[in-house]
Structure 1
């Protein structure tokens, strides 16, 4: 029986404004891919990301271009060779996982994580702003055990100090989004260590981070924009201590599992992160993150409206997805 694919662009309002070093947005723009076979339907969601040259129209067109191969029954392994890593492949890959689970009557979790699933402690993200505004965000969320703080400007030491004073008991991840440079990185790292920061994400632009091989890492440094697939890892040895795996970068759960396992083999710490999307995008990542060192799957917590049904969050704890959502 031929498979039928549909592609839809959707928008979900963000609660307020989400700001990083590259700009601000007030809504999550996502592409949803639905693949049906007979009475069974699988779904996958992706978030096109401008930093990687992706647009809503471009990602939608890339998915549509696979219509013939999907109708003919392409599987997830063949998909890896048929499309490059990125958001479009992620949406198709996750839809195929969901469809396979429904047709076979076997949950995705039973395939990728045979042990009992458990709740995960996710980071909660604070948007970039002036130190006083970031301190107010931190103070309002100081009861959360793990905060992810967007930085990446000329005043980052003041921002770090303000957030730490406002949330003295929280573990903190700093995400510079490539916003530091060779002149600021060492001093910022040293100050972050003084403040007890747990992890720093992508302090320098991808491809312009060679100095990390020659300076101290008083705080572990995590690659984000510098790593997409398993093939990227060898070049990161000596530069980074951990990698942030996102399904939209790796191009789906299938490739992300390979990336996670290879990262472990090479001695990297593992963080599982997300773009700002809905629970449908987070659901497969919750399975991927069952043994992660850091989890950043707070996308739905940043939205004013999520999908129904969505993931269940209790404070900063996120539960595995219900099959009615995905998998």
Structure 2
């Protein structure tokens, strides 16, 4: 097996504004694993609030490259056990795990969905993200969109803005990126109309969730609070839903386990994404048949997509049915 990797710059179609800052581009690390005539692809991106430095990842890839290239073709779960012994950051682990699933499926001539017997009919629609802006601008974007589901970014709580969003006849979620206060959360969960929002994502900074009342009207959803399998039981008294992102948890292999455990515990599950190309989004899409919510709009936000594969069009998740993750570089 051979390893290849390359840094890419993903240019955003417009400035992406969230509580953490404003972004016009994302740096991405493309990973390729190849064997015979098969090539599999994975991706991770530099996210400043996760303190990701892709140069550190490249150094680590060079260190482990001889070990990776000695590996024969085994089942992806076995390959993941090998990767788990290398002490890799979850973002880098995810890129390698996804690349291997893509390669393995292509060698077996079977899609990830086939290999894991995941439902592929009647998939939930994805939301599209509405950046932080004046609420009238946000409403205008929603009204002019041909998508059906929206995730509206907030930077702090403006009650008047919330009331205006609630009056819209659209499926809307809120994502504060940890910018709500305890008092904001109390106001939201004591307002019976808040149940009209499909979910309210990561209201407080990591670890500050004790104010949340799972039994309230608010469908609180954990994002940064929910990093891996071990966090699920701890969060259970506070959150109704969890956002599972491949880069957070380390790839498709651990995501499958997290989804299974989350469902057992009674959570609603969302498959989420970062700002990613179709390399990353193709991997997220294959899990849509197991999800209650999807937020897989990442590739729709960039202007220089580097691949084709599974994709999202006007919210509809479209699986290519091709072997592996169906990823082809442009």
TM-score (structure 1 length as normaliser) = 0.90
How far apart, in 1, do the equivalents of 2:277 and 2:151 lie?
A: 18
List per-residue Cα deviations over 1:71-94 (Å, max 9, x = no partner). 121712221332345211111001
Match of 1:162 among 161, 164, 168: 164
How far apart, in 2, do the equivalents of 1:163 and 1:13 lie?
A: 29
1:123–1:316 contact (8 Å) kept in structure 2 = yes
**Aligned ranges 1:79-228 → 2 under 5 Å:** 79-84=83-88, 86-141=90-145, 143-153=146-156, 155-165=157-167, 168-191=168-191, 193-194=193-194, 196-213=196-213, 217-228=216-227
After superposing on structure 2, the runs of 4+ consecutive aligned residues of structure 1 that deviate more than 6 Å are none
Residue 108 of structure 1 deviates from its aligned partner by: 1.6
Confirm or deny that 1:281 pairs with 2:288: no
Match of 1:49 among 47, 50, 59: 47
3-state DSSP of counterpart to 2:113 = helix
How far apart, in 2, do the equivalents of 1:188 and 1:123 lie?
A: 22
1:134–1:163 contact (8 Å) kept in structure 2 = no
1:178–1:205 contact (8 Å) kept in structure 2 = yes
Residue 163 of structure 1 deviates from its aligned partner by: 3.3
Q: Per the alignment, do residues 84 and 229 of structure 1 end up closer, same or farther by CA in structure 2, a change over 3 Å counting?
A: farther
List per-residue Cα deviations over 1:222-258 (Å, max 9, x = no partner). 1000111111111111011111000010111001111
Aligned length: 320
List per-residue Cα deviations over 1:175-201 (Å, max 9, x = no partner). 111111212211133458347211111
Q: Per the alignment, do residues 194 and 227 of structure 1 end up closer, same or farther by CA in structure 2, a change over 3 Å counting?
A: closer
Q: Per the alignment, do residues 263 and 36 of structure 1 end up closer, same or farther by CA in structure 2, a change over 3 Å counting?
A: same
How far apart, in 1, do the equivalents of 2:82 and 2:248 lie?
A: 18
1:85–1:249 contact (8 Å) kept in structure 2 = no
How far apart, in 1, do the equivalents of 2:33 and 2:249 lie?
A: 20
Match of 1:7 among 2, 5, 8: 5
How far apart, in 2, do the equivalents of 1:96 and 1:48 lie?
A: 21
Q: Per the alignment, do residues 83 and 164 of structure 1 end up closer, same or farther by CA in structure 2, a change over 3 Å counting?
A: same
Residue 106 of structure 1 deviates from its aligned partner by: 2.2
TM-score (structure 2 length as normaliser) = 0.89
**What's 2:308 paired with?**
309
Residue 136 of structure 1 deviates from its aligned partner by: 2.1
Residue 162 of structure 1 deviates from its aligned partner by: 3.4
1:224–1:243 contact (8 Å) kept in structure 2 = yes
Residue 216 of structure 1 deviates from its aligned partner by: 5.2
2:194–2:217 contact (8 Å) kept in structure 1 = no
CA-atom RMSD in angstroms: 2.2
Gaps of 5+ in 2: 73-78
2:243–2:269 contact (8 Å) kept in structure 1 = yes
1:7–1:64 contact (8 Å) kept in structure 2 = no
How far apart, in 1, do the equivalents of 2:103 and 2:327 lie?
A: 9
Residue 312 of structure 1 deviates from its aligned partner by: 4.2
1:119–1:320 contact (8 Å) kept in structure 2 = no
Gaps of 5+ in 1: none
How far apart, in 2, do the equivalents of 1:160 and 1:61 lie?
A: 45
